[in-house]
A and B are shown apart, each in its own frame.
Chain A
Amino acid sequence: MDQSTFENDRSKNCVLESPICDRLKSEPCWLGIDEAGRGPVLGPLVYGICFSPVAEKEKFKEMGFADSKTLTEEQRENIFTKISDNGDMMGWMVDILSPGYISRSMLRRAKYNLNALSHDSAIGLVKRALERGVNVTEVYVDTVGDPTKYQDKLKGIFPSIDITVAKKADSLYPIVSAASICAKVARDRAVKSWVFAEGVEIEGNAYGSGYPGDPLTKKFLAGNIDPVFGFPDFVRFSWSTAALILEKEAAAVAWEDDEEDDSSQNSGSASLLQFFKKSGDDAKLERHRFFSDRALTPLSSL
């Protein structure tokens, strides 16, 4: 899996794909979708799809794919080699969603949450497979959210495809297991070979699994705080783990869309004192709107 496109700019998303043989275009195919790296506070989230002719289902099942989480990294690499070697009966694609993209999406003015982002990535991959001419007739998806809602959404977009959304689909359907292995291999490689644009050097890239509870990950986070900029782009700023550390350890930053803290304000009813004021008492001489609209104020001292 050549990741050089992603390595050129790790702040951007990147789709990688296998060659697609003619059988995958002419014969009806089943397609599995799964992700890797949803929970970690570090590194990319990777969506993967794997597809193969329906006619080869039995042969596919015999290839020994299992949920990527039950396999060691070495086993996953071996299986991925097997997937690549069997290009005459299967193909794959992965969508690497960079940690910077995840942060920026989730921290938009109009929040783009992780579920919507995940769905869009999965849908994007299926669309891409169809554009490449893959004859997809069945889709199997693993889900963390509500399966029926997701199923309806996919059904609406791909009305002619038979769609199955299930929890633990990665252990039920080998095509999803294969997709999960592609995704996990892509994520592991991306994390392992991470080069920090910020020039941060971590010996042996020993930042652990990226899960907030991992001691190595905790150590990495605690040791790489910039008082102004926070963390390098490798860290998902939108994770509460990261946000809480910065709240304590870095300079406070106020944005124009920060929610006002209303707790100290009056709850709507006017103060009783208001009624005893002389009218016109607080006729302040205000500056013209021209200036307030432009945040211009006179400067009389430094």
Chain B
Amino acid sequence: MDQTSAEQAISVLTVDDSASIRALLRVALTSRGFAVQQAEDGQEALEWLAANEVDVIITDINMPRLDGFGLIEKLRSSALHADRPILVLTTESSEEKKTRARSAGATGWIVKPFDADKLTAALRRVAH
């Protein structure tokens, strides 16, 4: 996992199987003062979250091993992360997928390609 820390910063875990998207998110968020952790799929995120906390999770939907829907469902059934804000960041634009994410317990839905300023505004809004 990559780690960039900043004192008092909102901590964000990004979950995406694309190395290019991870790099894009890391640069966009660290340059705006967020502390960024990154996982390559839902399974890696779940394992890291078993022993760590973050303020907000951003997850892709289509990923190997454990996809975004599976990750949200597992986190919502855990005591530690039942109320953790989870934003879905995806190329999916279908209402059916969005409804499924909402039912699983997602906090918000962002369609790629993302606008870094809109994304960070949403992160600050949902971070408790």
Do these two chains really belong together in a complex? Answer: no
